[in-house]
Structure 1
Amino acid sequence: MSDIPHQKERLLSLDTLRGFDMLWIVGGGFLFLKLAEITEWGWADALAKQMHHAKWGSFHFFDLIFPLFILMSGVVIPYSLYSRLDKGESKKSIYLKIIKRFVILVVLGAVYNGALQFKFSELRVASVLGLIGGAYAIGALIAVNFRSAKSLGIWVLGILLGYGVLQLFIPVPGYGAGVLNGEGSWNGYIDRLLMPGKLLSKTMDPEGILAVVVSSSITLMGVWAGMLLKRDEISPYKKTGIIAGVGGGFVVVALILKTWYPIIKGLATVPYIMLSGGLSLLLLALFYLVIDVWKVQRWTLFFRVIGMNSITIYLAVKIFDFWKPASFIFGGVSRYFGDFAPLIIGLGVICVEWIFLYFLYGKKFF
């Protein structure tokens, strides 16, 4: 499912960052949760709290995982779609590829949510993969037609401004303006009106229609970053500084806005989008600096193997029980670790998943 840049253009930092991002879903988060449960160490408990989605109106590390994935899908666009356009491929052909990718991700998201059980009255069509696919599709369609940094910036600010005005100042029928809860917000109103299938809550879905639309602004942030990274006339250190500066600016603005416009992941409020997009840019700048500029790369293979088949492992952990082979292989050893035995099994799960992905990596299946 990934658009992989040609090897000579390849950003090892992007594959590594994608793998780092996905690790927390496929087992990394469990390790911190279990460590905090076993030890009751203060620092472990603090980290474990970051492995849950935050309550309404706050932000945890776990709330960054899918915005970061969306940003990286945008970074690839200049290396994939723009390169195809530059080689003479028609926009119509590009549009079909974008739509195909979107449809596949929506279908895979529905499968993840249980579509193969054929209980369609209970099926949740909205999904994380659908959110990623929709945000990518909207961002990609914009990016294909507006290829300057200035145009992308205008689109990002326009989407965020329009979305903020809608959430804060346009009255929702029957509820009024500025209601930031599931039932009385525009997010909930539009989801109940237009979103097919079951909603995650009865009143709205955090991966609903408006969340998809506003998340496309993070895709466009990624496109801008990808365009910058491709420019040979700009030094790598300057690229790093620009990306980090813009990312830090988004974070600062989000923290200022949150005093009267809360950071709410469930409603994808503008401060949430700016904070998660800004932090994603900061992480991109850091990984690019260390891996592609300083060439500190020996440690990256572990994450790259995960990152190059990120959607594969996301679905695989839903379909396959990796705990059984991990328990079979590491169960005996784990008993020597007493209370820490679940941690050993958890590490074993990650090892089994990684070996599975390394097999695909060796076969060049991405």
Structure 2
Amino acid sequence: MKSDAIRTPKQERLLSLDALRGFDMFWITGGGMFAVFLGKLTGFEWLTRQMEHVEWAGLHMYDLIFPLFMFIAGVAIPYAIVSKLEKKVPKRTLTAKVTKRMVILVVLGLLYNGALAGDLTNIRFASVLAQIGLAYFFASLIVIYTKSFKSRLYWLVGLLVGYAGLQLFVPVPGVGAGVLTPEGCINGYVDRMLLPGRLHGGVFDPEGLLCIISAAGITLMGSVAGHFLRDQSRTPWQKIYLLSGIGTALLIVGVALHPVYPIIKSCWTTSFNLAAGGISFLLMALFYMIIDVLKWQKWSFYFRVIGMNSIFVYLFGRFVDVGRLVNFVLGWAPQVMGTFGQFVWNVGYLALIWGVLYYMYRKQVFLRV
């Protein structure tokens, strides 16, 4: 399979996008485990806590992985869709393409959750992959069927404000409106009422039905960043200043709202979207500046190899017992090294996954859906 590499109108690959995607996936393919080890070794407990999801309200680094991935998917939309609209590719053709992508990701999500295990009564129908597919689908439809960038901004604001209105002002039977707890949030109520099978959180699902709307919002945020990056009327440094300014403003607003409208990843509150989107804008600006503008690129190769096969590496960690393979390769060596042995094991884990991805990179095999 050939890579659907993103290129600028000058046919120069936007390397920062692959690198940022790989940086994002790094943390769930062994990087987070390695950070936890370093945190415990050095007594730097803050780092260890950052590699865990918050229990409910608040924000840790680990909570940013999923929304950053959605944001990056949105950055690709102007290159993958708007560029084709400009070339007069029929809208129905693009709609068919994003529909196919959505269906494949929903099916892969079911397989990831164990659909083939036989116990269909207890299967979790919601999934990370399904939310990626559905959110990208809805965000893409908005881009395909709106006539201007300004119209897409109206859609983005409408999604964020409308979603906040649902969570804050629509009453849940027996609970009331604006009760942002696992049991009282309208997300959980809708999931319990409409979503079949098992819910990840028992009374709610962090990838539930309403969360798809919010995820579509942060995907549209990414498309805004992609629009500015693709805009040839601005200089690279103007793009960096613009993305940084937007990111800073969104982060400040999201944090400012937290006391009255908490940042909660599990139900994807609009304040969470603003904070996570703001950080995503800042990271995109940083990676774009370092890699594509200043041309400091060699260091990013490690992450680009991961980023060019992000869906594969996510599935690989689910269906292959990487830890067992590491134990087989390293044998008894880590056990006799004490604390340093754990370090060696973690490095081996990262090296094994990256080695597989590097082999695929050399063979130009990329899993794209």
Q: TM-score if structure 2 supplies the norm length?
A: 0.94
Identity across matched positions, percent: 46
What's the counterpart of residue 16 of structure 2? 13
Three-state SS of the structure 2 residue aligned to 1:55 is coil
State whether structure 2 residue 117 is matched by structure 1 residue 92: no
Cα pair 1:71 1:222 within 8 Å, conserved: yes
Three-state SS of the structure 2 residue aligned to 1:47 is helix
* Distance change >3 Å, CA 298–CA 69, structure 1 → 2: same
Equivalent AA in structure 2 for residue 108 of structure 1: L
What's the counterpart of residue 36 of structure 2? 33
Equivalent AA in structure 1 for residue 158 of structure 2: G
Question: Counterparts of 1:9 and 1:306 in 2: how far apart (Å)?
Answer: 20
- Two-structure CA RMSD over aligned residues (Å): 1.6
Q: CA deviation at 1:332?
A: 5.4
* Distance change >3 Å, CA 213–CA 188, structure 1 → 2: same
Equivalent AA in structure 1 for residue 180 of structure 2: L
Question: Counterparts of 1:13 and 1:129 in 2: how far apart (Å)?
Answer: 23
Question: Counterparts of 1:78 and 1:309 in 2: how far apart (Å)?
Answer: 20
**Deviations for 1:254-291, whole angstroms, at most 9, x for unmatched residues?**
11111111111111111111111110111000000000
**Deviations for 1:47-85, whole angstroms, at most 9, x for unmatched residues?**
111110012111100000010000010111111112222
Question: Counterparts of 2:12 and 2:154 in 1: how far apart (Å)?
Answer: 28
Q: How many residues align?
A: 363
Cα pair 1:327 1:348 within 8 Å, conserved: no
The runs of 5 or more residues in structure 2 that have no matched partner are none
Three-state SS of the structure 2 residue aligned to 1:364 is coil
Question: Counterparts of 2:89 and 2:262 in 1: how far apart (Å)?
Answer: 44
Question: Counterparts of 1:152 and 1:86 in 2: how far apart (Å)?
Answer: 16
Three-state SS of the structure 2 residue aligned to 1:265 is coil
* Distance change >3 Å, CA 62–CA 97, structure 1 → 2: same
Three-state SS of the structure 1 residue aligned to 2:196 is coil
State whether structure 2 residue 26 is matched by structure 1 residue 23: yes
* Distance change >3 Å, CA 116–CA 352, structure 1 → 2: same
* Distance change >3 Å, CA 6–CA 289, structure 1 → 2: closer
Q: CA deviation at 1:3?
A: 4.6
Cα pair 1:3 1:76 within 8 Å, conserved: no
**Deviations for 1:178-209, whole angstroms, at most 9, x for unmatched residues?**
11112222101111122132111332101001
What's the counterpart of residue 53 of structure 2? 53
Equivalent AA in structure 2 for residue 4 of structure 1: A
What's the counterpart of residue 176 of structure 1? 176
Question: Counterparts of 2:84 and 2:196 in 1: how far apart (Å)?
Answer: 34
Instruction: Name whichever of 193-202 and 291-300 sits farther off.
Output: 193-202
Three-state SS of the structure 2 residue aligned to 1:98 is helix
What's the counterpart of residue 156 of structure 2? 156
What's the counterpart of residue 334 of structure 2? 334
Q: CA deviation at 1:227?
A: 1.1
The runs of 5 or more residues in structure 1 that have no matched partner are none
Question: Counterparts of 1:323 and 1:311 in 2: how far apart (Å)?
Answer: 19
What's the counterpart of residue 224 of structure 2? 224
* Distance change >3 Å, CA 315–CA 348, structure 1 → 2: same
What's the counterpart of residue 70 of structure 2? 70
Question: Counterparts of 1:162 and 1:9 in 2: how far apart (Å)?
Answer: 38
* Distance change >3 Å, CA 10–CA 196, structure 1 → 2: farther
The 5 Å alignment of 1:208-357 reads 208-331=208-331, 333-335=333-335, 337-357=337-357
Instruction: Name whichever of 198-207 and 318-327 sits farther off.
Output: 318-327
Question: Counterparts of 2:203 and 2:325 in 1: how far apart (Å)?
Answer: 40
What's the counterpart of residue 125 of structure 1? 125
Question: Counterparts of 2:58 and 2:7 in 1: how far apart (Å)?
Answer: 40
Cα pair 1:4 1:80 within 8 Å, conserved: no
Cα pair 2:7 2:14 within 8 Å, conserved: no
**Deviations for 1:202-259, whole angstroms, at most 9, x for unmatched residues?**
3210100111111111111111111111111200000011011111111000111111
Q: CA deviation at 1:147?
A: 5.2
Question: Counterparts of 1:245 and 1:300 in 2: how far apart (Å)?
Answer: 24
| Runs of 4+ in structure 1 over 6 Å off | none
Instruction: Name whichever of 327-336 and 59-68 sits farther off.
Output: 327-336
Question: Counterparts of 1:9 and 1:143 in 2: how far apart (Å)?
Answer: 24
Question: Counterparts of 1:303 and 1:78 in 2: how far apart (Å)?
Answer: 23
